[in-house]
A and B are shown apart, each in its own frame.
Chain A
Amino acid sequence: MGDIRVSGLGKAYKQYPGQWSRLAEWIVPVGNPRHIEHWVLRDIDFHLRAGEAVGIVGANGAGKSTLLKILAGTVRPSCGKIEIGGRVAAMLELGMGFHPDFTGRQNAVMGGQLLGLSLEDIARLMPQIEAFAEIGEYIDQPVRTYSSGMQMRLAFSVATAQRPDILIVDEALSVGDSYFQHKSFERIRAFRREGTTLLIVSHDRYAIQTVCDRAILMEAGRIRMQGDPIEVLDYYNALMAEHNHQRIRQEVLPDGRLTTISGTSEASIVDVRLLNQHDRSADTVEVGEPLRLLVRIRANSALPRLVLGFLIKDRLGQAIYGINTHRLEQPLVHLAAGDEATYCFSFPARLGKGSYSVSLSLSREDSHIDKNYEWRDNALIFHVFNTGKEDFVGTSWLGANVIVTRHS
């Protein structure tokens, strides 16, 4: 139960030059086909084990939604095999096919029936659906009066009223406000603990990183990469900034993590080191310890302007702190090919316990989207320990003081 096995899956839409040629093909089934096959998905292979959570990322038109529709059973594949074990609940786009003239309650009943629930089941689950959706009196109003957020709330509540073996969610959750998103993810996490397999499409990096065990990157209808969410998302990020002369490569770091390097290679990072106050390489850092980040770079061709930036991310890939020499008002200008430079950033490690990564970027302007010479994710990793300070939670040490005044 809960397994999904997909092999050799493909989907092609038939494109006819005109309606007459479609008619001709229908009437005369022999001879050359009169349509062009437009492939939107090709050679899709993956296996999801029960209880796994997989996020699908990719640019618009990469085939993510089509893939989910095929898995949900609304679109028929052109070739390949799918094995799905268990009951599937799918939220494809908004509203789950709600009928605008029926009330929310009627639509909830209809949606429940289509999910295979009996009327008694639905009647039993209804109070819970209403409570989770939190749309109040609107439940008895026609759905056309709903906002998109309300439709999503109701659709999600219905789809997840009973734990499915497989839950498929396409973007939809991004419509909700952050309160409801939080609540939905809480429910999804609870389902996962009970063994529900989750397949989600999202542009929300945070959602995929925190919920998924694995991510699949799709590009032009094929799987480009699959693996650890952070590594896949880093690669995707680099892909997004990709311009004509850029290359992307991934290297395995000594500790086994993948680093993604992208850019035009007009400038490159030669060496990067994190030093503590004793000028020793700092793999482990004490909370509050002064640190220096040393980066040596080389210009591989003549550059009008060069900005180096670094970004510290926590274990989940959340940005903790980032700055660059543009914002620090120290860009380098007029570099010749072969010029080298060393940067030294110094800052105290006011961070919470845990591991952190440093990403580096070499660009012309403030943002690397504009002109990306080199972007290097996970350039180095360090761990923060807390032995000297009071124990605290979170990723930032703010060094709070307290004054307690007692009133009697």
Chain B
Amino acid sequence: MNLTLTHALWRYRGFILGSVKREFQARYRNSLLGAAWTVLQPLAMITVYTVVFAELMRTRLPGMDSPYAYSIFLCAGLLTWGLFGEILQRGQTVFLDNGNMIKKLNFPRICLPAITVINALVNFSITFFIFLAFLALTHTFPGWIILYALPILLVQVAFATGLGIIAGVLNVFFRDVGQFVNILLQFWFWFTPIIYSATTLPAAVRPWMDLNPMAPLAQAYQGIFLYGQTPHWGTIWPVAVLALALCMIALLLFRRRSGEMVDEL
């Protein structure tokens, strides 16, 4: 079954890549600095966190003396969460936003979430490159160990894509899903150790944290970029299985409902 979908994606690759490019261009048309904004935004974010938390508030992580430690900790979790959040949020509205096109043109609908995911990845790559440059400039670059971030990213993207498509399809039929996902994301963000370290949580809460699939991913990034640690693969693979399951459910749901979807748009 997935062969036909993969085949459709391949056949329409020109359209998918073209759409990614057009969306990227469209975002900065009518702006003087153009694509520079893609770089300026994460740059501003990293600067603000460094200045506010590291310099003004003197936030220090236990056992770390570097003034940049907290910024690195923050960025490692925040930037990757941004990728997750963007895929999920854009994914849940992808069919609604493109309703006009879906109603008028005959093309494999699976292209639409593909465009969303690739778009998010492009944005993330730019941001992430800035982050790496920041690490290099502050002499805190952890070395080749950062390649371990790739499998973690893969798991996270798969997780977000599966969840995004499920939310996207459901949202066409039940608009409540969109509202719910937005609220869920807020809670989820603060329930994931991104701003704070999991070790600072009271012991009573920690077992609950283990139920959050985003927590081991965030901790893995922080481990790689701040401490140069290999991820605890034992905590990652259950998330990978879950991500795979979500993708399967997403495809099943999509195939069952994509015909009916047009009637509701």
* Chain A contacts to B: CB under 8 angstroms: 13-14, 19, 22-23, 26, 69, 72-76, 88, 90, 92-93, 95-97, 99, 101-102, 106, 109-111, 113-114, 118-119, 142
Partner of A75, one of B18, B26, B262: B262
Could you tell me the dominant secondary structure of chain B's interface residues? helix
B114-129 vs A, Cβ < 8 Å mask (1 yes, 0 no): 0000000000000000
B174/A110 in contact, CB under 8 A: no
Cβ-closest 7 pairs across A and B: A73-B106, A76-B259, A97-B104, A97-B101, A113-B15, A97-B105, A92-B104
- Cross-chain contact B263 with A74 (CB below 8 angstroms): no
The residues of A that contact B26 with a CB separation of less than 8 Å are 99, 101-102
How far is it, in angstroms, between the C-alpha of A118 and the C-alpha of B101 when the chains are bound?
20
- In the assembled complex, the Cα of A142 lies from the Cα of B106 at a distance in Å of 23
B237 at the interface (CB under 8 A from A): no
A19: chain B residues at CB < 8 Å are: 174, 176
**Is B139 on the interface with A (CB-CB < 8 A)?**
no
* Contact across chains for A114 and B259 when beta carbons are under 8 A apart: no
A24 and B234 alpha carbons, distance in the complex (Å): 39
Is the pair B15, A74 in contact by a Cβ cutoff of 8 Å?
A: no
B108 and chain A: residue at smallest CB distance: A114
Contact of B18 among A90, A92, A113 (CB under 8 A): A113
B59 contacts A by Cβ under 8 Å:
no
CB of B12 closer than 8 Å to a CB of A: yes
Give bound CA distance, A99 to B101, whole Å. Answer: 8
Q: How far is the CA of A97 from the CA of B25 in the complex (A)?
A: 19
Give how many B residues have a beta carbon under 8 Å from the other chain's beta carbons. Answer: 24
Q: Which of B14, B19, B22, B100 contacts A97 (CB 8 A)?
A: B100
B12, B22, B106, B107 pick with most chain A CB within 10 angstroms = B106
- Closest chain B CB from A143 CB (angstroms): 11
Cβ proximity bits B213-243 to A, threshold 8 Å, 1 near / 0 not? 0000000000000000000000000000000
Measured CB to CB, the nearest residue on chain A to B259 is: A76
Contact between B173 and A22 (Cβ–Cβ < 8 Å)? Answer: yes
Give the most central of B19, B176, B260, B262: most A CB within 10 Å.
Answer: B19
Q: Would you call B102 an interface residue if the criterion is a C-beta within 8 Å of the partner chain's C-beta atoms?
A: yes
Min C-beta distance of B204 to chain A, whole Å: 35
- B174 close to A22 (CB less than 8 A): yes
B206 at the interface (CB under 8 A from A): no
Q: Are A113 and B12 closer than 8 Å at their CB atoms?
A: yes
A96-B104 contact given A22-B174, A75-B263, A101-B26, CB 8 Å threshold:
yes
Interface centre among B19, B104, B106 (most CB of A within 10 A): B104
Among residues of A, the one whose C-beta sits closest to the C-beta of B106 is A73
CA distance A75 to B173 in the complex (A): 16
Bound-state CA distance A14–B104 (Å) is 20
In the bound complex, do residue A114 and residue B107 qualify as a contact, i.e. CB atoms below 8 Å apart? yes
- Which residue in B19, B25, B102 is a CB contact (below 8 Å) of A74? B102
Q: B263 touching A114 by the CB < 8 A rule?
A: no
User: Which residues of A sit under 8 angstroms from B102, Cβ to Cβ?
Assistant: 74, 97
B7 within 8 A of A: no
Contacts of A97 in B (CB 8 A): 100-105
Q: In the complex, which residues of chain A have a beta carbon less than 8 angstroms from the beta carbon of B100?
A: 97
Give the distance in Å from the alpha carbon of A114 to the alpha carbon of B26 in the complex: 19
B263 touches A14 (CB 8 A): yes
Is B14 touching A113 in the complex (CB atoms < 8 A)?
Answer: yes
Q: What are 23 residue pairs bridging A and B, where the CB atoms are less than 8 Å apart in the complex? A: A14-B260, A14-B263, A22-B174, A69-B103, A72-B106, A74-B104, A74-B105, A74-B262, A76-B259, A76-B262, A90-B105, A90-B106, A96-B104, A96-B105, A97-B104, A97-B105, A99-B22, A99-B101, A109-B18, A110-B22, A114-B12, A114-B105, A114-B106
The residues of A that contact B14 with a CB separation of less than 8 Å are 113, 118-119
Distance from A16 Cβ to chain B, minimum over Cβ atoms (Å): 10
- Return chain B residues, CB-CB under 8 Å to A72: 106
A223 to B150 alpha-carbon distance, docked (Å): 59
Closest residue of B by beta carbon distance from A170: B104
Contact with A along B12-33 (1 / 0, CB 8 A): 1011001100100110010000
A74 near B22: Cβ-Cβ < 8 Å? no
A209 to chain B, nearest CB (A): 28
Complex-state Cα separation, A99 to B19, whole angstroms: 11
Q: B259 contacts which chain A residues (CB < 8 A)?
A: 76
Within the complex, the shortest CB–CB distance from B112 to chain A, in Å, comes to: 12
**Of A26, A74, A101, A119, the contact of B106 (CB 8 Å cutoff):** A74
- Once bound together, how far apart are the Cα atoms of A76 and B173, in whole Å? 16
- Which residues of chain B have C-beta atoms less than 8 A from A119's C-beta? 14, 18
Q: Return A324 CB to nearest CB of chain B, in Å.
A: 44
Q: Provide the bound-state CA to CA distance between A69 and B100, in Å.
A: 13
Distance between Cα atoms of A306 and B263 in the complex (Å): 50
Contact B104 A93 (CB under 8 A): yes
Q: Is the CB of B15 within 8 A of A114?
A: yes
Partner of A110, one of B15, B25, B173, B263: B15
Q: In whole angstroms, what is the CA distance A93 to B99 when docked?
A: 14
> From A75, which residue of chain B is reached at the shortest CB distance?
B262
- Bound CA–CA A101/B12 (angstroms): 22
Nearest B residue to A100 via CB reads B100
Contacts of A110 in B (CB 8 A): 15, 18-19, 22
> Bound state CA distance, A96 and B100, in angstroms?
9
**Chain B 1-50 interface residues, beta-carbon cutoff 8 Å to A:** 12, 14-15, 18-19, 22, 25-26, 29
Q: Is B18 touching A74 in the complex (CB atoms < 8 A)?
A: no
Contacts of B22 in A (CB 8 A): 99, 102, 106, 110
Q: Which residues of A sit under 8 angstroms from B260, Cβ to Cβ?
A: 14, 76
CB of B25 to closest CB in A, whole Å: 8
Q: How far is the CA of A90 from the CA of B263 in the complex (A)?
A: 18
Distance in angstroms from A13 CB to nearest chain B CB is: 5
Measured between beta carbons, the chain A residues less than 8 angstroms from B174 are 19, 22-23
How far in angstroms is the closest Cβ of chain B from A10?
Answer: 14
A74-B262, A110-B22 known; A88-B106 Cβ under 8 A = yes
- Flag B142-180 by CB within 8 Å of A: 1 or 0 each: 000000000000000000000000000000011010000
Q: Give Cα distance in the complex from A83 to B26, angstroms.
A: 39
